[in-house]
Chain A
């Protein structure tokens, strides 16, 4: 019983002195830190987002967004800002190019040569058509 009292008491004293030394050291360091270093530290920590209102931000892709962060909830709403869509003339898509083969042609050894030849013919006809 006595030994435990000594143990706990000595532990408490050591803890107190250690906390005192550390706090004093921190205080001394903050007093001796230069103004420039303090400014840099303040800049590194970003300001918390305002909650409960819509505020404007820009995404890394360069798109403007309006963001709302909930005050008492984790709700986040992002609305992209409207942007101008340039009016461009509609260009119709090209129709697919089809090459037809039968099973006997596809199972022959010269199939790839035939595909190449047919593709060249199709390109030639396309150029003539243009």
Chain B
């Protein structure tokens, strides 16, 4: 039963540059394997304003989206289709992957904004808590 953290990163992104040492410090403290995956030119910076950018997919919004997301589809449906067609990969994306003995599970967090220090602190705290809980559930300590 493993647990690992992967950061999908772009070389020229300033937000990724701020996020990488933060994640590395958390993973080093908790002794969790941490890998950085550097994406190619076709990667796209994540837009966080609307949570409908979760999966870049019309089908996902149609099935799980809130009514406001479905209304917004009329405006940016074409953009989602384009992103799906080109297979754009967003950055920065944190993937927390673990196997609980039954099936692999992943928590994917898209985006990072370091302009608000309070939010970054809360985010770091939440990440630490999540990883500690997962570690305890899987390894018992």
Contacts and interface: CB of A to CB of B under 8 A. Distances in A.
Contact of B126 (A98, A99, A102, A106): A106
Contact of B103 (A97, A99, A108, A112): A97
A106 B53 contact: no
A106 B95 CA distance: 12
A101 B104 contact: no
B36 interface: no
B28 interface: no
Given A107-B119, A115-B107, A100 B126 contact: no
A111 B128 CA distance: 13
Contacts of B122: 107-109
A102 B47 CA distance: 9
B17 interface: no
At the interface, is chain B mostly helix, strand, loop or mixed?
mixed
Interface in A110-124: 111-112, 115
B103 A101 contact: no
B129 A96 contact: no
Contact of B108 (A98, A107, A108): A98
Given A105-B51, A107-B123, A109-B122, A100 B110 contact: yes
Contacts of A102: 46, 48, 51, 53-54, 109-111
Contacts, number: 71
Interface residues of B, number: 27
B97 interface: yes
Contacts of B55: 100
Contacts of B97: 96
B65 to A, nearest CB: 12
21 contacts: A93-B103, A94-B102, A94-B103, A96-B103, A96-B106, A98-B108, A99-B106, A100-B54, A101-B54, A102-B46, A102-B51, A102-B53, A103-B48, A103-B112, A104-B113, A104-B119, A105-B51, A107-B120, A107-B126, A108-B122, A112-B126
The 7 closest A-B pairs by CB, nearest first: A94-B103, A107-B123, A103-B111, A96-B104, A100-B54, A107-B119, A98-B106
Given A96-B104, A101-B110, A104-B119, 11 more contacts: A96-B103, A96-B105, A98-B107, A98-B108, A99-B105, A100-B55, A102-B111, A103-B119, A105-B51, A106-B126, A107-B123
